[in-house]
Every structure is written in C-alpha cells, then in structure tokens.
Amino acid sequence: MTVGIDAMAIHAGKLRLDLAETFAPAMDESPEKYTEGLGLHASSFPDVHEDIVTMGANAAHQLMERKGLEPADIGRIDVATESAFDNSKPVSTYIAGCLEKVFEDDFHHANKGERKFACISGTQSLDDAYNWIRAGRNRGRSALVIATDTALYARGDAGEATQGAGAVAMLIGEDPDLVELSVEQGFGSADETDFLKPNQQFPSVDGKRSVQVYLARMREALEDYESVAGRVHPDDFRFGPFHTPFPGMVRKAAMLAYRHLTRDTEIEDELEPELGRQPHPDEFDDESAYHDAVREYMDALKGTDQYRAWYDRTIEPTLDIARHVGNWYTGSVHVARLSALRRAREDRLDAAGERLLVGSYGSGAQAEIHTETVQENWDEELAALDIDDQLEARRDISFEEYEAIHDAHNHAKDDEFEALTTPSGEFVRDGQGPMNERTYRYVE
C-alpha cells in the first residue's frame, strides 16, 4: 500500500514585516545580518483577527474545497502547534467547528487531537496519520494534518529576528498525489533545555545552544536512519527539505550533512588532493585538536565546487519560501518541501520518482529523518497552489504597526487594536465566549 501526502495548502499570516528595510534600522542593526547572516528578508505576521485556529481552518478549507472533499471523507484531524491557548480543548476541535460553518456535514466521526513536541510535532502528526492508514483503521478515509503557529518571541529577545506566522494543511491518504512516505525513519532525541515555554506564551531560548542542539540531534537522526535504510549518498536524493527556523541554520546543517554523507565515498577521494582525508577522532590526542581539524576541513569543504553544486541543487531550492515568511515552527519543514517542489516546477523538472531527504526538528529536543518519493501527479498539485498570490497580497507593516500587532497578540495585554486588513472569504476570530473560549465566524 502506498501512503503519503495527497495534497497541501498553506495560509500565510496576512501581514509582512520587511526585516532589512523596517526591522533592522529600528534595531540599529545592519540589514545584511538578516538577508545574508540569517538568510531572511521578511516575516509573515497574523493580523488582529487571525490566530492559529483561523490560519489552520483557512488552509484546511482551501485544501478540502480544492480536492472536492466533504467532512465524511476525513477520519482524523490532527493539529500540530506550539502556540496553543488551551491546555485541555484541542485546537482541532476549534478548527472542525470553523469548517462545520462552511460545510453542510459535520466531523462527528473523525478522531481529533493535538500533538506537542515543538516544531517536530507536524511531522509526528504525519507519522500518526501514516500509521493509522497502514494499520487499516481508516475505513477508506483520509487524515487532515494541520501545522499552525504564531512564532512570536518576547520583544527584545534575539529570536525576534526569526518570527513568522502561518499554517500548512496536509491531506494524508492511500495512493497519494504528492509524495509517498518511507517506512524507514531515524530519530535523534534527548532531554534538552534549548527552547521551551513552561506555561508561558513567549519562549525561553538559549539561541546559540539551540543551534548546536539542532545540529547534534539531526546528526544522530541521520545515523539512526542509515542504520535501517543503509548508507545515504549525497546524490541519492534530489532535495533535502529541513526544518528551517531561518535559512542560515539550514546552511550549517547542510554543511555537516555533506561531510557525513561524503565520508569514504568517491567524492572524498576526489577532494583528497585539495583537502586531505576527513579528520577522525582516533587520529588526535585531544578533543580540541580534533575539533580544530574538523573546522579547518569544513571551511575548506565549503569552498569546493562539489559542495557548492550539491548545495545549490539540493538545499537552496528548499529555502525560497522561508526567506519571505520566517519561521512557522511546526509548518516549517513542510514549507521547505513545498518550496523545493515549487522550484522543481519552475525549472520544469521531471520530478516524479525523485526522492527527498526530509529532516524535521523540534527543540527540547528531537530530530527525525525520513525519505519521501515524489508521485506522478505532483505537478498538477503544485499548479493548484496559490502560494505566490498569498505572499504578494500581504500588507507591509511599519515598525510602529509591528509593535501594535505584537501587543495585540500578547496574552498579557488586553488593549483593543484595529485590524489592518479587511477579511474576505476567510475565517476570523471575533471574540471570547462565556467560558473564555475563543469564538470564530466565516466572513463571505
């Protein structure tokens, strides 16, 4: 049985903060720190009437309409988020409630839940849906997986540079049109305190450590994947979509991955006259000498034609969207997959049958590596997406508007703010009910 992602849709927050033009000057920083260092040009932000429910419901609505689905076709709704506002009632019930306002039927026989493990929970929800279908418990129905987040940091936190907001909806089913998921998976998981939100809205982050933990867990996951699937060669896959908190992070991960994947291959042989062999720990008396040698090797590897060509072909295309939307946490790796396939379409690549090496990551911390195989109808699916229209339609905000929008989404502040955009054909948040529940309506 082939199981995987049948279709995807996104909903980007409707506001756009230009990092180089608007944010950098206000922070008294160089624009290049954003565009070159972090690799980010802009972040998507949610307008006042948007939140994780509206963005998730809007993406799911678009997906269901496009695929001609009714609620009876959906047997599961799993929401992945790290921006939940309720410790008991799952976001999936709110989203189902929204969708029931526009569909005649209801989702009363769909199993609903919410997954939490920082950014990796989007991929964990895919895994849950995959297992449910492979176990034969789906009664021919598909699963709706929705990764939705408002990735906001406290004002003044270094993470403020990497914010974003958006949702990705994915339909998981048998004989998928987009990608098939591999049975093989690898995990790298450890108890870490790099990024967490202990009952608080904005994260506590040890930024520099979070970067190191990302790299360490990804490496473990890759080795674990190889232990079940066999060694991976850099040319085994066409694209490598990774979790992308900011493109600069993926640049670091790609470098490490390439060193690992080329070890003892013909590529290492080819590079030997220029770089020597890769350093091995047992060749050194102490750890710091080994680390210095690795750093030196990596610096030289970065400049080689072989690495540049691999990076430009395999990794760079996965970053096209992230550069303009920032971090969507649980949706981020799924945006990277879309980005790669969108580039494949632009380049008229015959991608059917090509493989993707997908690297998901969640702070706290866990990484997962699996592979995906692009399906025959991928091109048609991509053609149906409106990513560019959504990104272009966003309203640019000034720094003062950014400050007000950040306050509008801050749970500790209860000032009223006017929305900056006029909703049309979308779900909006319209208030608070008697039990403190959030309320929503559909605006025609």
Rounded Cα distance between 417 and 341, Å, is: 38
| Shortest-Cβ-distance residue relative to ligand CAA | 37
- Residues 147-186, mask of contacts with ligand CAA (x by CB under 6 A): -----------xx-xx------------------------
98 included as an active-site residue: no
Nearer to ligand CAA, 23 or 195 (CB): 195
Which one among 2, 25, 26, 36 touches ligand CAA, defined by CB under 6 A?
A: 36
Stretch that binds ligand CAA, among 109-117, 246-254, 317-325, 417-425 (CB under 6 A): 246-254
Do 2 and 175 contact (CB within 8 A), yes or no? yes
Do 366 and 387 contact (CB within 8 A), yes or no? no
Nearer to ligand CAA, 119 or 420 (CB): 119
Stretch that binds ligand CAA, among 53-61, 238-246, 273-281, 349-357 (CB under 6 A): 238-246
Stretch that binds ligand CAA, among 167-175, 205-213, 259-267, 304-312 (CB under 6 A): 205-213
CA distance between the termini of the chain: 40
Closest by CA position to 164, among listed 321, 359, 8: 321
Please, what's the b/e burial string for 24-33 (b: 16 or more CB within 10 A of its CB; e: otherwise)? beeeeeebeb
Q: Which of 11, 41, 243, 324 is catalytic?
A: 243
Which one among 130, 225, 311, 361 touches ligand CAA, defined by CB under 6 A?
A: 361
Q: Which of 50, 82, 316, 381 is catalytic?
A: 82
Strand ranges inside 117-216, DSSP E: 142-151, 164-174, 179-189, 195-196, 204-205
Nearer to ligand CAA, 43 or 363 (CB): 363
**Under rule CB under 6 A, which residues in 315-354 are in contact with ligand CAA?**
327, 329
Nearer to ligand CAA, 311 or 329 (CB): 329
Closest by CA position to 314, among listed 295, 282, 348, 337: 337
Does 363 participate in binding ligand CAA (rule CB under 6 A)?
yes
Closest by CA position to 280, among listed 271, 289, 272: 289
119 included as an active-site residue: yes
Closest by CA position to 394, among listed 325, 323, 440, 322: 325
Nearer to ligand CAA, 153 or 378 (CB): 153
Rounded Cα distance between 227 and 186, Å, is: 8
Tell me how far, at minimum, the Cβ of 207 lies from ligand CAA, in Å: 3
Tell me how far, at minimum, the Cβ of 96 lies from ligand CAA, in Å: 27
Name 220's Cβ contacts closer than 8 Å, sequence gap at least 6. 186, 187, 188, 189, 367
Which residue type, as a one-letter code, is found at position 294? V
Name 424's Cβ contacts closer than 8 Å, sequence gap at least 6. 443, 444
**Under rule CB under 6 A, which residues in 1-30 are in contact with ligand CAA?**
30
Does 39 participate in binding ligand CAA (rule CB under 6 A)?
no
Name 422's Cβ contacts closer than 8 Å, sequence gap at least 6. none
Residues known to be catalytic:
82, 119, 243
**Binding residues for ligand CAA, per CB under 6 A?**
30, 32-33, 36-38, 119, 158-159, 161-162, 195, 205, 207-208, 210-211, 214, 243, 245-246, 248-249, 327, 329, 361, 363
